[in-house]
Structure 1
Amino acid sequence: MKAVVYERYGSPDVLELKNIEKPVPKDNEVLVKIYATTVTAGDWRMRKADPFLVRIFAGLFKPSKVKILGFEVAGVIEEVGAKVRSFKPGDSVFADCEFKFGGYAEYKCFPENNSVIVLKPSNVTFEEAAAVPIGGLTALRFLKQAGVKTGDNILIYGASGSVGTYAIQIGKYFGAHITAVCGTANTEMVRSLGADHVVDYTKTDFTQLDARFDIVFDAVGKTSKPACNKLLKPGGRYISVKGNPKRNANDLLFLKDLMESGKLKPVIDRKYTLETIREAHAYVEGFHKKGNVVVNVTGG
């Protein structure tokens, strides 16, 4: 099968398209033919070993634990293990690869576990479904950790990125009032997702707003709690993607339900292929993407 492999840390040029052995599912696993994956910040940071702590996880001098990147996928189950009961060949699914990665390939095995793989809603494409697990789960888990509830005033800094676009929609689902901070080019897009108020950071320093918020969510990891303290109401919560939110086994199913009901719609900025994945990495690393960048692997 075709897969994008990296054997050393560095620029997008370290990514190489190769032919490798197709995986075989264990008794409790399913084999997914991947139709689409994405390029996330986690992918390029692993590729570049930025921050340095990546090397502690992946390999000090070169990547040894992970050779194929790709954090999230969507595709069709081709084969199931002898003990699998929840899925069957032909099922359309989307999945969170977690820190095993492996999405930049034509096939990947997943355990039969609805915390990482679930059936794809019929009302979204494979490209859209592939873009949900990482950004969607991150937004959901941080907002739940902050105790989001009806009537909350939430400020989302970095509202036009993957996590930010999902945070707007999930916050609205929970009945919150959303103030979105983004650049000029993305103001209309975040409004279309449900933002009640939009702050253009190129024209206004959002940290100097007079409004006060129940939750300030740094969805890109570029500000800090001290910088945002004056924005918080007494008892208000500051959350950042630099943190580590608590996971729930039903989170991916929750996002599936939101998509099926039309309350969650992935934003796709650009589309690439495995052959052009170096260009995709360079673009995402530039910090200017809107929502998600998708890579078409096969079919779909």
Structure 2
Amino acid sequence: MTGSGVHTQGEPVWVRTRDGRALYAMVLPGPAGATGVPTVVFEAGSAATRSTWALVQTRVAAFTRAVVYDRAGLGRSALDPAGRTLDRMADDLNDLLDGLEPSSGFVLVGHSAGGPIVRLAASRRPDRVAGLVLVDPTDEAADLLFGMPFRVGEKIVIAVEWVLARVGMLERFFRFLGEGMPEDVRADLHREAFRPAVVVTQGRQARTFLTELHAWQGDPPALPDVPVTVISGGLAHGTDGMPRRVRDAATAAGRYRAAQSRQGRHVVAAHSGHYIPATEPDLIAAEIRRLVLPPAG
């Protein structure tokens, strides 16, 4: 908690999806008098909760409203009994935006697997999207994602993580995510982010995610003509364990994705691996600010 008793990530908000499920969000209102600027909404990675965005969200709240939330089955949000397809996750994000309106548009920020989710959501409601920031996104331009070695490796990782979560050891391998976080955010991570149920949700998402994403190679979501910034990690190995060939493929895909937008921009986070929201939050916040408060003229 902050000194005033208010949570670092803001006020809790519950938003209902079109089929009645409850999504948990937290809202920092931004500075007083900040009107006419887009709201920034953050989409986390595959098994990540809202807490992973804390260092970026608090920086963005210095200039506009900043919103984090838990996808269904993660953090405090209700399970989705119908499955965790890209299609349903994008619809959930749009339902969240419905619950946050009115707003002067939205800048959507997605990390890792959150990248395709915000792209698909934006393609379905382009009228209210002011920009996208994709942080080391999973992208269909990286062909190695769809080969058998990667798919088998993903299944092995999820199986190992489930065992570690069951015996209470998963948090040890991701303790770096809490470094530098405020005490209340670290407490939320401890309570919510490393439970077996989180890994179960991750597995449910993974059942169709790569197959759906692969289909985008021939028919990607049509994005609105808005600024699109892609931020790629600059380091291989390290805490995220991403091999050099995977890092190179991810960076090349990020460069390609930015080039598909008339207002595209590709940035390398030179001091980060995959978990840029934890390691270079200032860089992400600065790129968001460029979209929310573009220079005059």
Which TM-score applies when normalising by structure 2? 0.28
Higher normalized helix content (fraction of residues): 2
Which TM-score applies when normalising by structure 1? 0.28
